[in-house]
Structure 1
Amino acid sequence: MGRLNPPFVEWLMGLAPGHVTAVPGLSRSAQLKALGNGVVPQQAAAALRFLAPTALAAA
């Protein structure tokens, strides 16, 4: 049975290598928790592109 590898999750999310995994003192489980609670940058950018025109029009 395999185990989830934090550097692989960083790569899948499009984060720079070491963005979470190079933080001193974080255990493997803490790294995975931080990555799991994070936002994928590409998805956040897409949401802003979609929502910004609506928000600006309402202001």
Structure 2
Amino acid sequence: MGRLNPVFVEWLMGLPDGWVTDTPGISRTAQLKALGNGVVPAQAEAALRLLLHRADRQEAAA
């Protein structure tokens, strides 16, 4: 079995090329840790849209 490639994880999360992997002086392990602790931008967008929708509904009901 091969090793997990940080460039692949970066792509899988939908981040721009080099967002983490082009950071100077960061080891492969540190890159994977940073990527693993990150939030997929699409998840963050979905959460914000849901929160804004709920806030708009509450405002309209008031």
TM more than 0.5:
yes
Equivalenced residue count is 58
- Structure 2 partner of 1:37: 37
Shift of 1:51: 1.4
The amino acid across from 2:10 in the alignment is E
Give me the CA root mean square deviation.
1.2
Specify the structure having the higher radius of gyration (Cα): 2
Q: Is 2:54 the partner of 1:54?
A: yes
The amino acid across from 2:14 in the alignment is G
- Structure 2 partner of 1:24: 24
CA distance in 2, matches of 1:13, 1:45: 13
Q: Unaligned regions of 5+ residues in structure 2, if any?
A: none
Q: Which runs of 4+ in 1 moved over 6 A?
A: none
Matched residue of 2:47: which SS? helix
Q: Unaligned regions of 5+ residues in structure 1, if any?
A: none
The amino acid across from 1:13 in the alignment is M
Shift of 1:55: 3.3
TM-score (norm 1): 0.89
CA distance in 1, matches of 2:37, 2:52: 23
